[in-house]
């Protein structure tokens, strides 16, 4: 089936090789590209704002829990909330989300209760035991490895004649791994139903994006695989929603995978074990902070009369309450059983394994 490219004006109308970056709302909160503004009601706009605040506060909470020694290493999504929201907002419930580790917001929106995500970072396996009806893979720590899994899921979906799309999220560093190359290549060759969503947050730990690749953009890598690629403002939630909507349609209807490079910035540390002052200037962070997603969303909503101080205060208060309940639940959750590591290993146990399990039980009871 021939793709009518005019039906996908964002993806086919913005060429990253010419340095074109798609944006709908600028840093001042002005709609600069009205034709592409997603059709959202005032309630929906308010909901998006609410999500952003919830994510920011949940992130702050996780950082605090880690500092208090009640959580393990935690990767912040601070500054990347527009990507988190925009990548999931247009998805069907049954679409797949294949995340790496900096998708705490996406996972929440996709349907993973916040307390469960907290559990994962607390170091409890129950954090990856998702609801049966959730098409989502657990956090992938080995960078880039999950991109090819997403290609497999999107491939199977086409073979089965299914209609779901596998959305894979990763970051700039992941594009250097061989698995990313394999994923893009398979996506092109096997016409998989995928969207590859790169949150280019400029750093892989201390490694700047310029060390990661000599190409001007990440989006343009798509062309080498016969796939479309588009670069967008990843701090503009509306640009992300609009682009993801098109990309999902392109995958669903034409088995064509898009590489979206969402340009954003990790305002926080890589994880709670990282000290970004070693490798970047405060002035750089300050410049990017002016472009972060909340400022423009706040301005836009106030200009539209959807938001005022009172409403904002209420959203924040509710979010704080919700987040502290989630944290409490996660902290009070029972640990996995000591025997879980044996019992979840395979569908059937075997004598040597049972013997080891018994050894651990006896050792623990002593």
Partner 1 sequence: MSRELKIVEAINEALFQGMERDERVMVLGEDVGIEGGVFRVTSGLQEKFGKDRCVDTPLTETGILGAAVGLAINGMIPVCEIQFDGFIWPGFDHIINHIARFRTRTRGRITTPVIIRVPFGGGIHALEHHSESMEAVFSHIPGINVVIPSNPHDAKGLLLSALQSPDPTIFLEPKKIYRAIKEDVPEAHYTVDTKKAQVLREGNDVTIISYGAMMRETKLALTEYLKTNELDFELIDLVSLSPIDYETVIKSAEKTGRVLIVNEEPRTCGLAAELAAVIQEKALLSLKAPIERVTGFDVIMPLLKMEDHYIPGPKRIINGLTKVLNF
Residues marked as catalytic: 266, 270, 279
Task: Decide whether 4 or 334 has the Cβ nearer to partner 1.
Answer: 334
Contact stretch for partner 1 (CB under 8 A) within 26-34, 103-111, 118-126, 251-259: 118-126
For 281, residues 6+ apart whose C-beta sits below 8 A from its C-beta are none
Question: Could you tell me which of 36, 38, 37 has the C-alpha nearest to residue 14?
Answer: 36
CB 270 within 8 A of CB 276: yes
Burial (CB count <10 Å: 0-12, 13-18, 19+), residue 39:
exposed
Host H or E run for residue 29: none
CB of 159 to partner 1, least distance (A): 27
CB 232 within 8 A of CB 262: yes
Burial (CB count <10 Å: 0-12, 13-18, 19+), residue 310:
exposed
Q: How far is 94 from 200, CA to CA, in rounded Å?
A: 26
Kindly state the tokens that stand for 79. 């500054």
Contact stretch for partner 1 (CB under 8 A) within 161-169, 172-180, 242-250, 289-297: 172-180
273 binds, among ligand TPP, partner 1, none (CB under 5 to 8 A by kind): partner 1
Residue with tokens 């074990």: 273
59 binds, among ligand TPP, partner 1, none (CB under 5 to 8 A by kind): none
In the list 53, 62, 82, 204, the residue contacting partner 1 (rule: CB under 8 A) is 204
Interactions with partner 1, residue window 2-61 (CB under 8 A) = none
What's the order of all strands across the beta sheet hosting 96-98?
96-98, 166-171, 194-200, 258-263, 229-233
Contact stretch for partner 1 (CB under 8 A) within 38-46, 79-87, 134-142, 282-290: 134-142
316 binds, among partner 1, ligand TPP, none (CB under 5 to 8 A by kind): none
CB 105 within 8 A of CB 55: yes
Build a one-symbol-per-residue string for 345-364: x at contacts with partner 1 by CB under 8 A, - elsewhere.
x------xx--xx--x--xx
Residue with tokens 């069907």: 92
In the list 139, 227, 242, 244, the residue contacting partner 1 (rule: CB under 8 A) is 139
CB of 70 to partner 1, least distance (A): 11
In the list 279, 281, 321, 325, the residue contacting partner 1 (rule: CB under 8 A) is 279
CB of 195 to ligand TPP, least distance (A): 17
What residues make contact with ligand TPP under the rule CB under 6 A? 102, 141-143, 171-174, 201, 203-205, 266, 270
Q: Kindly list the distances between the CA atom of residue 71 and the CA atoms of 23, 75, 321, in Å, as whole numbers in the listed order.
A: 37, 11, 19
CB 22 within 8 A of CB 14: yes
Question: For residue 22, what is the DSSP state?
Answer: B
CB of 123 to partner 1, least distance (A): 3
CB of 101 to ligand TPP, least distance (A): 7
102 binds, among partner 1, ligand TPP, none (CB under 5 to 8 A by kind): ligand TPP
194 beta partners: 166
CB of 258 to ligand TPP, least distance (A): 19
Burial (CB count <10 Å: 0-12, 13-18, 19+), residue 327:
buried
203 binds, among partner 1, ligand TPP, none (CB under 5 to 8 A by kind): ligand TPP
Residue 205 engages partner 1 in binding (rule: CB under 8 A): yes
Kindly state the tokens that stand for 355. 């013997």
Using CB under 8 A as the criterion, which residues of the chain lie in contact with partner 1 when the complex forms? 72-73, 101, 120, 122-125, 127, 139, 141-145, 173-174, 176-179, 204-207, 211-213, 273, 278-279, 335-336, 338, 340-342, 345, 352-353, 356-357, 360, 363-364, 366
């Amino acid at each position: 089936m021939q793709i009518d490219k005019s039906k996908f004006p964002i993806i086919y109308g913005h060429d990253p090789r010419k340095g074109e970056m798609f944006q709908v709302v600028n840093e001042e909160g002005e709609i600069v590209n009205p034709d592409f503004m997603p059709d959202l009601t005032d309630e929906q706009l308010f909901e998006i704002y609410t999500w952003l605040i919830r994510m920011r506060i949940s992130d702050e909470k996780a950082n605090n829990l880690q500092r208090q020694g009640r959580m393990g290493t935690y990767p912040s999504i601070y500054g990347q909330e527009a990507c988190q929201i925009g990548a999931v907002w247009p998805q069907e419930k049954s679409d797949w989300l294949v995340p790496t580790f900096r998708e705490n917001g996406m996972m929440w929106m996709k349907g993973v209760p916040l307390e469960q995500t907290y559990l994962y970072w607390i170091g409890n396996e129950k954090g990856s035991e998702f609801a049966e009806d959730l098409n989502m893979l657990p956090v992938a720590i080995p960078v880039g490895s999950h991109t090819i899994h997403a290609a497999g899921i999107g491939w199977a979906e086409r073979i089965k004649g299914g209609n779901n799309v596998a959305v894979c999220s990763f970051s700039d560093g992941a594009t250097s791994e061989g698995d990313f190359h394999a994923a893009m290549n398979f996506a092109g060759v096997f016409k998989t139903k995928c969207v590859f969503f790169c949150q280019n947050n400029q750093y892989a730990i201390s490694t700047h994006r310029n060390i990661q690749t000599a190409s001007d953009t990440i989006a343009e890598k798509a062309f080498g695989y016969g796939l479309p690629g588009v670069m967008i403002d990843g701090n503009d939630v509306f640009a992300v929603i609009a682009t993801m909507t098109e990309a999902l349609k392109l995958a669903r209807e034409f088995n064509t995978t898009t590489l979206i490079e969402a340009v954003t910035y990790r305002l926080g540390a890589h994880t709670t074990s990282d000290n970004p002052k070693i490798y970047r200037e405060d002035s750089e962070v300050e410049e990017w902070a002016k472009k972060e997603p909340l400022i423009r969303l706040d301005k836009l909503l106030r200009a539209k009369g959807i938001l005022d101080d009172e409403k904002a205060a209420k959203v924040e208060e509710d979010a704080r309450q919700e987040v502290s309940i989630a944290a409490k639940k996660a902290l009070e959750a029972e640990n996995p059983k000591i025997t879980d590591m044996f019992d979840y290993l395979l569908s059937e146990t075997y004598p040597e394994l049972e013997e080891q399990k018994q050894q651990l039980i006896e050792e623990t009871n002593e």
